[in-house]
Amino acid sequence: MSGRLAVVGLGPGDERYLTLEAAAALADAQALYGYGPYLDRVPARAGQSRHPSDNREEAARAAAALHQAAQGVNVAVVSGGDPGVFAMAAAICEQIADGPDSWRELDVVFIPGITAMLAVAARIGAPLGHDFCALSLSDNLKPWALIERRLDAAAQAGFAIALYNPISRARPWQFASAVKRLRRHLPPTTPVIFGRAVGRPDECIAVTALETAANEPADMATLVVVGTRETRVVERPGRSPLVYTPRAMSEVIA
Ligand code: SAH
Q: Which of the four pLDDT bands, split at 50, 70 and 90, describes residue 3? A: confident
pLDDT of 159 over the 70 cut: yes
pLDDT of 129 over the 80 cut: yes
- What are the Cα distances from residue 151, in Å, to 6, 30, 57, 97, 146? 33, 42, 27, 30, 9
Instruction: Tell me what the mean pLDDT of segment 172-186 comes to.
Output: 96
- What are the Cα distances from residue 213, in Å, to 59, 175, 205, 225, 236? 34, 9, 13, 11, 22
Q: Which of the four pLDDT bands, split at 50, 70 and 90, describes residue 46? A: very high
Q: What is the residue-averaged pLDDT of the chain? A: 95
> Which tens digit of pLDDT belongs to each residue from 17-42?
999 999 999 999 999 999 999 999 99
Contact 134, 29 (CB under 8 A): no
pLDDT of 253 over the 70 cut: no
Enumerate residues 6+ apart whose C-beta is below 8 A from 180: 214
Residue nearest to atom 5 of ligand 1 (CA): 86
Tell me the CA–centroid distance for residue 59 and ligand 1, in Å: 19
pLDDT of 252 over the 70 cut: no
- CA torsion angle for 10, 100, 31, 16 (degrees, to 10)? 10
Give the mutation target among 86, 111, 123 for probing the ligand 1 site: most ligand atoms within 8 A of CB: 86
Q: Angle between the 88-98 and 58-70 helix axes, to the nearest 10 degrees?
A: 60
Tell me the CA–centroid distance for residue 55 and ligand 1, in Å: 13
Q: Which of the four pLDDT bands, split at 50, 70 and 90, describes residue 174? A: very high
Tell me the CA–centroid distance for residue 1 and ligand 1, in Å: 36
Q: What is the pLDDT of residue 1?
A: 57
List the beta bridge partners of residue 116: none
Going by C-alpha positions, the residue among 202, 207, 211 that lies closest to residue 239 is 207
Tell me the CA–centroid distance for residue 147 and ligand 1, in Å: 18
> Which tens digit of pLDDT belongs to each residue from 226-249?
999 999 999 999 999 999 999 987
Q: What is the widest separation between alpha-carbon atoms in the chain?
A: 63
Give the mutation target among 38, 111, 117, 164 for probing the ligand 1 site: most ligand atoms within 8 A of CB: 164
List the beta bridge partners of residue 167: none
Tell me the CA–centroid distance for residue 70 and ligand 1, in Å: 30
List the beta bridge partners of residue 75: 5, 31
Q: Which of the four pLDDT bands, split at 50, 70 and 90, describes residue 207? A: very high
pLDDT of 4 over the 70 cut: yes
Q: What is the pLDDT of residue 171?
A: 86
Q: What is the pLDDT of residue 181?
A: 97
Pocket of ligand 1 (CB under 6 A): 12-13, 79-82, 85-87, 115-116, 120, 164-166, 195-200, 220-223
Q: What is the pLDDT of residue 251?
A: 62
Q: What is the pLDDT of residue 249?
A: 76
pLDDT of 113 over the 90 cut: yes
Instruction: Tell me what the mean pLDDT of segment 63-90 comes to.
Output: 97
- CA distance linking residue 107 with residue 185, whole number of Å: 46
Which string of DSSP letters, residue by residue, matches the chain? ---EEEEEE-BSSSGGGS-HHHHHHHHH-SEEEEEHHHHTTSPP-TT-EEEEE-TT-HHHHHHHHHHHHHTT-EEEEEESB-TTSSSHHHHHHHHHHHS-GGGGGSEEEEE----HHHHHHHHHEETTSSSEEEEE---SSS-HHHHHHHHHHHHHTT-EEEEES--BTTB-SHHHHHHHHHHTTS-TT-EEEEEESTTSTT-EEEEEEGGGGGGS---TTEEEEE--TT-EEEEETTEEEEEE--S---PPP-
Residue nearest to atom 18 of ligand 1 (CA): 116
**Dihedral sign, Cα of residue 27, residue 33, residue 36, residue 38:** negative
Residue nearest to atom 6 of ligand 1 (CA): 81
Residue nearest to atom 2 of ligand 1 (CA): 81
